[in-house]
Structure 1
Amino acid sequence: MNISKVFILLLSVGVYGCSSASTENTPVNPSTNNDGGNFSISGILPKNTEPLIYGVYISSVCRDEQLGFIGGLGSGKYTTIIKPGYQSYKPKITFNKDSGVFSTRLPKDGGSHCQWALGDVIVGLKTNEIYNEKNQPATIRLNVKAYGNSQYSIKKAKEDRRKIVTGDLLVNTTYYLSIEHRFNNKKIIKLIDDSHYGVKYALINNGVDSHVDFSPKLDLSYVTHFYEKMSAETNKPTFSRVYPNGQVDNGKDAIDVRPYKFYEKDSK
């Protein structure tokens, strides 16, 4: 038995990770007859950023064999888990660094004998001037998936807790910096929008092709600071968030981010 990973499953078998059982099979075969349509992404990126695009392909033919525990860690009971195989794939991107204009596409039918099918698409960017404490570029990542226009597809998208968009998706959101000061002296830099935790999208359409226009904006002069400290009295963490206008939110109010430039909109 070729075991690629060991996973700890608590109470039931249901947790799994990236497939490595079929890494010899490229998830996208350029010679495949692409009747299944394309997932295209294009747009204009802010200065000093680069596109970050890749797709996750799934195969029910080239499956992944894994080993898991039944009944929790230490139970000593193992089982072999067979899951659909999946791989990430980075497409070739046309990108003009001066204008920020970029475009790429991913075939929905990856082809090969594995019959790879496009699942999730990660659409985003990475910065060339903003780095976190691990010297990694700050990034924006959106999870997008295409669905057919049927009651079943819409129900599945809702079950996956995705924001449903009919037709093409336009992303022209303004992102800004959030600097998180953690109690262990860690300082984490993120690019966020008002949703803070990001959104998963479902594109519902009648055709075979799907498209995302990803043209976000960056406001690097708008910075929020999130502070996490340990209380000497209670030995519990306390939270606060400071906005550019001097507004300070404390406790649970500091967890959720107020709308961008809320003080100019005269609203919370």
Structure 2
Amino acid sequence: MIKKIPIAIVTMLISLSGCAKDYSLAPPADSEKVTVTVKLPKELKTETMWVMYRSATCKRISYGASGQRTERDGHNSVYKEFERQGRSDIYQVELPKDGGGACQWHLANVTFGVAYADPARFGENIIPGGGGGVVVIFDHNNSPRGGADFKVDGDLTIQKDYYPWVDEEFLGPYRKTVSLTGEGKIYLSYQALQARRVHFEPVLHLDFVVYSAGPKIKRKGNHTIFTYPGGSVVADGRAKPDFIKLQAIRLAAENNK
């Protein structure tokens, strides 16, 4: 039996299929390039870069429950691996700013970061956690992770301190993770409209590890316990380590050498 299809759905299908356009990227040979480099500590590795291009020509059309039509810029994602430059500690990705093609794609944003190359050095059955992430926005749109925390003119250089954070969680499935904890959120987000070079240098202070253990019983007043380098223990309701405290501990230790 052939089922009847509502006229509204037929109309929508026709409107979507009637535009046979090539949505692929086709960067012109003379496209201006954006170069992203990471100066990588030997204990870390680069993660795959997520690159997003946008198009005002090829719209994304959606329909609400009442049939209202919404148009948004189209987007196209590609994924890039950083390439080591010779035998140095510099890893690089080069991206065309103009994505070309029938949709006239332009580079919108990139998401990348670093993680531990060998999490097992921090114990058995430990898995990588978060931290060490960067988002750079090259246009006036938000990234998939939201808007920018910082806005910069010209090229972008990021140098940030990070500490190893080993965390155990007991409520729900047990898990033990090692993360990079630093200043701010897991992903630091920048808008750099004119940037043609982005340089990220994570500075890893491997000798200053902070440990935490979540509560084993869900009860009011039970908080995650943080044990900082040097042995101080704090359970003040924080969800992540106190970055200022870590900085102070490290600087005091370095001054006492």
Aligned pairs for 1:224-239 (under 5 A) are: 224-229=210-215, 231=217, 234=220, 237-239=222-224
Task: Report Cα offsets for 1:24-56 as digits up to 9, x if no partner.
Answer: 7333x243542xx33211242111544333321
Select the residue among 243, 249, 253 that pairs with 1:263. Answer: 249
Aligned to 1:26: 24
Select the residue among 231, 234, 239 that pairs with 1:246. Answer: 231
Aligned to 1:143: 135
Task: Report Cα offsets for 1:1-43 as digits up to 9, x if no partner.
Answer: 46xxxxxxxxxxxxxxxxxxx997333x243542xx3321124
Aligned to 2:54: 58
RMSD: 3.6
Aligned counterparts of 1:50 and 1:188: Cα–Cα separation in 2: 16
Gaps of 5+ in 2: 1-11, 14-19, 253-257
Aligned pairs for 1:45-194 (under 5 A) are: 45-52=40-47, 53-66=49-62, 81-91=70-80, 93-96=82-85, 98-130=87-119, 140-146=132-138, 160-182=147-169, 183-184=171-172, 185-194=174-183
Aligned residues of 1:224 and 1:243 also touching (Cα < 8 A): yes
Aligned to 1:72: none
In the TM superposition, what is the alpha-carbon distance from 1:88 to its structure 2 partner?
Answer: 1.9
TM-score normalised by the chain length of structure 2: 0.70
Q: Does 1:220 align with 2:217?
A: no
Give the structure with the larger strand fraction. 1
In the TM superposition, what is the alpha-carbon distance from 1:128 to its structure 2 partner?
Answer: 2.5
Give the structure with the larger helix fraction. 2
Aligned counterparts of 2:130 and 2:148: Cα–Cα separation in 1: 25
Q: Does 1:210 align with 2:196?
A: yes
Aligned residues of 2:164 and 2:179 also touching (Cα < 8 A): yes
In the TM superposition, what is the alpha-carbon distance from 1:144 to its structure 2 partner?
Answer: 0.9
Describe the shift of the 1:33–1:126 C-alpha distance in structure 2 as closer, same or farther (beyond 3 A): same
- In the comparison of the two structures, how many residue pairs are matched? 225
In the TM superposition, what is the alpha-carbon distance from 1:188 to its structure 2 partner?
Answer: 2.7
Aligned to 1:42: 37
Aligned residues of 1:196 and 1:256 also touching (Cα < 8 A): no
Describe the shift of the 1:248–1:118 C-alpha distance in structure 2 as closer, same or farther (beyond 3 A): same
Q: Rg larger in 1 or in 2? A: 2
Aligned counterparts of 1:125 and 1:191: Cα–Cα separation in 2: 9
Describe the shift of the 1:23–1:228 C-alpha distance in structure 2 as closer, same or farther (beyond 3 A): farther
In the TM superposition, what is the alpha-carbon distance from 1:93 to its structure 2 partner?
Answer: 4.2
Find the residue that maps to 2:138 and give its secondary structure: strand
Aligned counterparts of 1:226 and 1:193: Cα–Cα separation in 2: 15
Find the residue that maps to 1:251 and give its secondary structure: coil
Aligned residues of 1:128 and 1:137 also touching (Cα < 8 A): no
User: Could you tell me which amino acid in structure 2 is paired with residue 168 of structure 1?
Assistant: D
Aligned residues of 2:134 and 2:187 also touching (Cα < 8 A): yes
Find the residue that maps to 1:113 and give its secondary structure: coil
Describe the shift of the 1:137–1:98 C-alpha distance in structure 2 as closer, same or farther (beyond 3 A): farther
TM-score normalised by the chain length of structure 1: 0.67
Identity within the alignment, %: 20
Describe the shift of the 1:180–1:265 C-alpha distance in structure 2 as closer, same or farther (beyond 3 A): same
Describe the shift of the 1:81–1:189 C-alpha distance in structure 2 as closer, same or farther (beyond 3 A): farther
In the TM superposition, what is the alpha-carbon distance from 1:168 to its structure 2 partner?
Answer: 2.1
